[in-house]
A and B are shown apart, each in its own frame.
Chain A
Amino acid sequence: MHSMRLLKVGAGLAAMALVIAGCSSSSGTSGASASPGNGLPKLSAYAGPVGKGEGVLNILDWPGYALPQWTKPFTQATGCKVNVKDFGTSDQAVQLMHSGGYDVVSASGDATLRLIYGGYVAPVNLSLVPNYADINPQLKMQKFNSVAGIPYGIPHGRGANVLEYNTQVVKPAPTSWNITFEKNSPYAGKITIYDSPIFIADAALYLMKHNPSLGITNPYALDANQFAAAMALLRQQKPMVANRWSGSTQQIQDFQKGTIVAGTSWQYNVLTAQQAKAPVSSIVPSEGATGWSDTWMVWSKTPHINCAYDWLNWIVSPQVNAQVAESFGEAPSNIKSCAYTTDKTFCKQYHATDAAFWKNVWYWTTPTARCVDGRTNVQCIPYDQWATAWSQLISG
């Protein structure tokens, strides 16, 4: 009957109008709307003081950063019950912050700026985090965790993306990334790479050392020419790759089974695989490596601000920072934590204060059109185009 149709159409139109109106009024969702690229959202840090906890804390982290060994004591000390959500890539982290609901996030350098400019995270009031005083000065107020002199997070720790290899198959022990990139690699078909557009930087890093004529000085600052070269290298590598990984367990299993014998990895994966008696080891090759320096940031709309600041102070306290660093296999951010590691040579092994080592490790950073290496004569390829190129590379 006509009335049924009218009802259907009317309801539909009304609903759509409602939603579209809602959409238009807030194109930036869980944050203040930022003008493209330059305007910093007007958010202010928590004035404090840190009071009684709200009873709950939702953590968004890299797998292994919030294990019961140190979240249980945290809950006992502060009353903040902890819910942990892991993500596998920085892109997933940004998406989850967009969906909202996570009070603190451990963001790598390729996520931090996006979170800051998107209005998802608020500046941090350093005076409310007493343990910040002991953080390694090399990590304080860096380009990836502060903007215009405003701090946006607390440094957690840093690490390199190591080359993991099967000690029984890959002989002699490798010293370069060439076994994963060069066409004549004897391990073709059993290589793994990281499943994120940021991996393009690894290809660029390889070219930095092996093709100097391209003039790459920073693997995250690639002009059109350099970017094309990096993509070409990845396309050449593609047939040699068994699969890409972003979940640690799958990658560890693959190494255990022998499906993969070499590839980029985290020390966390290596340690876990070794605990499971897999014959693997890792190195930072001669070309250097990409890496990450992670920062704990606070959601701009968190209803659990006190628990959030409790967590910030807790996770970088010397004992806990040491626990996390040893468990994950990364360099701790708190200088005092070196006294608390069970392995007394741990900090030395992981170059916790060795500035020279980190010169060869390129922390994940968000590539922007304004070249991050400072060049002004060219435009660099911004991250969204990295993502597009990557998507097309893996699709076809």
Chain B
Amino acid sequence: MTATAVAAPTKGPLHRIRIFMYQKVWARGLAILTLPVAWLVLVYLAPLVVLFLTAFWTTDSLTNQVVHQFTWANFQMVFTTPAYLRVIARTVGVAAAVTVLSLVIGLPMAFFMGRIARPRWRPILVALVLTPLWASYLVKVYAWRTMLGAPGGVVSWMLTPINKLFGTSFNGPGYGWAAVIITLTYLWLPYMILPLYNGLERLQDSMLDASADLGAHNVRTFRKVVLPLIFPSILAGSIFTFSLSLGDYITVQLVGGQAQMLGNVVYDNFTLNLPFAAAMATIPVVVMVIYLLVARRAGALEDL
């Protein structure tokens, strides 16, 4: 019997591609990442770059349309006008204050939620903390506006018995920088609590037990073991509170009285002078990129 040679089944180009993809790791990586990276570059990075370029152009005097004429004037105005330098300084200050205040309020809460509360209650507590995020940013700020209006607001109403008692006439902070800081802290508190909670919850009991076994009392353990371990979580939460405060302009308009933050300058000038607004907008971008790079080195980005 002659054994007829059985031809090997023809595998088309699809099969070759599959083998190629299997063998070459980088080809797989390429294929997988192309779509997301292309999207981000086209839809996000390119517009950002164009915005940055716009900062070097100027506008037509009457129509306010952008004219492609190179100039440093916009950046000059940002960095040499005392009023704008003050705005930048105040905005960074507010963002820092909001971050610190969120931490002061949020850390004890996250500690309770993550380490003291019974595991059964934890999802409920987290849900309670997160629920206000769904209450619409605008309505929350407007609620604070109602509360802080002095006189006539909720806060001044709550203070009336105290005022009667002491004969004072303190109506609460009213509208202004204090109001802005309080409101922004209120808005971003959940964003700070969540990473802190995750970090604290993940802390291994064994580490804390070991520290206690070695003789450290609770406060020492907290300072030397817990804090360093959750520092990345703190940084992660601060990215949100800092960045969201840096660019906010609506809260200032509603509860800030005469206050003016960086976001307002950008928003006000976006209509008439896009190049100047773009120049101003590069400041928070630079600040946040540096912040992100620092956070990455500290390992905070794992906890977002």
Interface residues of A (CB under 8 A from B): 1, 3-4, 7-8, 11-12, 15-16, 18-20, 23-24, 27-29, 33-34, 36-37, 91-92, 94-95, 98, 113-114, 117-118, 238, 241-244, 250, 253-254, 256-259, 366, 368-369, 382-384, 387-388, 391-396
Contacts and interface: CB of A to CB of B under 8 A. Distances in A.
Interface residues of B, number: 53
Contacts of A113: 62
B61 A91 contact: no
Nearest to B83: A396
A20 B53 contact: yes
A384 B51 CA distance: 20
Contacts of A387: 269, 272-273
Nearest to B34: A7
Given A34-B65, A114-B62, A257-B151, 4 more contacts: A4-B30, A113-B62, A117-B63, A384-B272
Interface in B239-275: 254, 257-258, 260, 264-265, 268-273
A94 B64 contact: yes
Contact of A91 (B53, B174, B258, B272): B272
Nearest to A28: B65
Given A243-B257, A253-B149, A384-B272, A16 B46 contact: yes
A145 to B, nearest CB: 17
Contacts of B59: 384
Given A1-B29, A11-B37, A387-B269, A396 B60 contact: no
A212 to B, nearest CB: 30
A383 B61 CA distance: 8
B50 interface: yes
B84 A8 contact: no
B23 to A, nearest CB: 14
B284 interface: no
B269 A391 contact: yes
A354 B150 CA distance: 42
A394 B90 CA distance: 14
Contacts of B260: 394-396
B299 interface: no
Nearest to B29: A4
Contact of B49 (A16, A114, A368): A16
Given A15-B46, A250-B254, A27 B66 contact: yes
A3 B254 CA distance: 50
B65 A27 contact: yes
B45 A15 contact: yes
A376 B150 CA distance: 50
Contacts of B64: 94, 114, 118, 384
Given A27-B66, A244-B258, A369-B61, A19 B26 contact: no
A388 B64 CA distance: 12
Contacts of B33: 4
B227 interface: no
B37 A8 contact: yes
Nearest to A37: B62
B86 interface: yes
A29 B149 contact: no
B108 interface: no
The 8 closest A-B pairs by CB, nearest first: A396-B83, A257-B152, A95-B271, A118-B63, A15-B46, A395-B83, A1-B26, A392-B83
B59 to A, nearest CB: 7
A361 to B, nearest CB: 24
Contacts of A8: 37, 41
B271 A19 contact: no
A117 B60 CA distance: 11
Contact of B63 (A114, A238, A369): A114
B62 A388 contact: no
B81 A392 contact: yes
B149 A37 contact: no
B50 A92 contact: no
B90 to A, nearest CB: 9
24 contacts: A3-B30, A8-B37, A15-B46, A19-B46, A19-B47, A23-B50, A23-B68, A28-B65, A33-B65, A92-B271, A118-B63, A242-B257, A242-B258, A243-B258, A250-B145, A253-B149, A254-B149, A259-B152, A384-B59, A384-B273, A387-B273, A395-B86, A395-B87, A396-B82
Given A36-B61, A94-B271, A391-B269, A15 B81 contact: no
The residue in A7, A28, A368, A384 that gathers the most chain B C-beta atoms within 10 A of its C-beta is: A384
A238 B175 CA distance: 16
A114 B37 CA distance: 40
Contact of A259 (B63, B149, B254): B149
Contacts of A3: 26, 30
A199 to B, nearest CB: 13
Contacts of A243: 175, 257-258
A118 B48 CA distance: 25
Contacts of A241: 258
B285 interface: no
Nearest to B84: A395
A37 B68 contact: no
Contacts of B30: 3-4, 7
A241 B176 CA distance: 12
Contact of A12 (B41, B47, B53, B60): B41
Interface in B94-125: none
Contacts of A7: 30, 34, 37
B84 A392 contact: yes
Contact of A382 (B61, B87, B145, B254): B61
Interface in B8-37: 26, 29-30, 33-34, 37
B42 interface: yes
A395 B59 CA distance: 21
Contact of A11 (B41, B67, B153, B258): B41
B87 A396 contact: yes
B216 to A, nearest CB: 46
B38 interface: yes
B36 to A, nearest CB: 11
Interface in B161-214: 174-175
A20 B61 contact: no
Nearest to B174: A259
A393 B86 CA distance: 12
